[in-house]
Structures are given as C-alpha cells and as structure tokens.
Amino acid sequence: MAASASDTFYGWYLKKSLPADFRHYGYTVVSKQDGHPVRSGDESMRFEVRAGDCSQKDCHRDRERHELKSEVSWHGGEEWYHWSLYLPRDYPNIFPVKVALGQFHQERGPVMWMFQNGAGGYWVDNQTIGRTLEKRRVLTDEEMRGRWTDVLVHAHWTHEDDGFFRVYINGRTEPAYDWKGPTKQERFEVYYKVGIYRSFMTRRPGPEPTQVVYYDDVNRGRSCHRVTRHFDCEKITAAP
C-alpha cells in the first residue's frame, strides 16, 4: 500500500520498487503521535534497510534497498518535484558503499540523476552521459542530521541541449545546483524513486548497519506552487 496522498505525497502514485522480498519494515507510514519526525501534517514515510535486504535481482548485484517508484513517467517537458528528507542523529554513514536517497531513473534504461549520501551530506550525482559526469555537494553532514531537509527540483526533460536540472535547498531561492544541457536520453522515459538504495556493498567487509530515513511532502506537479509550501515560488519563478 502507498502512503496517504493527502498527507505524505501529492501528484502521483508511488508503488514498491522490486516488490519481491520487500520486508514489512522496509516502508511504513508513521505518525508524529508515536514520536516520529514529521515535516507537515500528521504522518511521514519511514524507510529502513537492514543487512541482507535485497530482492532476488539485487542480491546477485551487490545491492540492498527499500524504495518506492512513481507509476507515472515523463518523456519530455518541464516538471517540478519536492521532497523533505530527515536523517536521524544516529544515522550511520557507510561510505565507500554508495547510498542513494532519491533518484531519477529511466524506464528500461540507465539512471540519470542520483542524490547520494557519499562520505556525508547530500550530493547531486549527474549521470547524463551514462556514468557520473560530475558530483556537487549541496549540504554537509551536519546540516542534515536531526533536522528536515527540503529539496525542490525544476527539470526540463529532454535529450537536447536546452534542458536544465535545478536543485533548490531549504527555502533558498538560488539553485544549489544548476545544470544546462541534456537531462535524459532520447528513447527513454524518466521516473522517480524515493527511499534507501545501497550499492557496491563489498567495498566494506560488512554486514552493514541498519539505516533509517524519513521522507515527507514528496510531491510532483507542473508548477512550483503546486508542489511546495517551503520555498518562495514567486522569487524562484521570477528569476531570469
């Protein structure tokens, strides 16, 4: 079951990614009445990955995950996205294992954009050439722990040079990351994934510790105002 669209997400339907062997604790809707962090409303989305949490496909590819994916995908055009992310104070960093906390993937194609935890903090991983082209840190580790991080993305999905991918952080009206150029490959549609995705597990001896991350206000729409109350959309959209 997906979370309540009226409370934790808006603008799309989210379903389990790789549902085979998806553990009951991997994704749950939790309440602030029970002491869980919530960005707005009464509920948030809690993701948990423990050692060995892999589907049949992942187990042989050095990966562990619990993620949801958008049922809708985009062939082209402009879209806005927002999510709020909470890392508990005791969240363990397991670098050099790669941990993605959000991604834009392509149907039957390679990933294009990943939001990596890296050695700490939040990194935009631009993979528009089929591998990492550049990484940009938009938040430090200390800026994220024990508090909510608000992420706003404005994307023009295209394989042409007039594309863009802009990332805004925590109410700031200037993009923390601003890419101009192709944002996807020509023959693929883009979809969104939210949760915890761990890869290259054998970079450390393991087994890896449990990781828990919360998300809220995971929204998508055709305008900034449609997806967020945490940013000044007037200033963002007025910028040249």
Averaged confidence pLDDT in the chain: 94
Angle at 180 between CA 176 and CA 185, to 5 degrees: 115
pLDDT attached to residue 89: 97
- In tens, the pLDDT along 91-138 reads 999 999 999 999 999 999 999 999 999 999 999 999 999 999 999 999
- In tens, the pLDDT along 65-99 reads 999 999 989 999 999 999 999 999 999 999 999 99
- In tens, the pLDDT along 155-201 reads 999 999 999 999 999 999 999 999 999 999 999 999 999 999 999 99
Give dist(CA 63, CA 6) in Å, integer: 32
pLDDT attached to residue 20: 86
Domain limits of the chain? 9-76+89-150+188-221
How far from chain centre, in Å, is Cα 145? 16
Kindly tell me if the per-residue pLDDT of 1 is higher than 50. Answer: no
HEC assignment per residue over the chain: CCCCCCCCEECCCEEECCCCCCCCCCEEEEEHHHCCCCCCCCEEEEEEECCCCCCHHHHCCCEEEEEEEECCCECCEEEEEEEEEEECCCCCCCCCCEEEEEEEEECCEEEEEEEECCCCCEEEEECCCCCCCEEEEEECHHHHECCEEEEEEEEEECCCCCCEEEEEECCCCCCCEEEECCCCCCCCCEEEEEEEEEECHHHCCCCCCCEEEEEEEEEEECCHHHHCCCCCHHHHHHCC
- In tens, the pLDDT along 195-211 reads 999 999 999 998 999 99
pLDDT attached to residue 6: 60
Q: What is the amino acid identity at position 49?
A: V
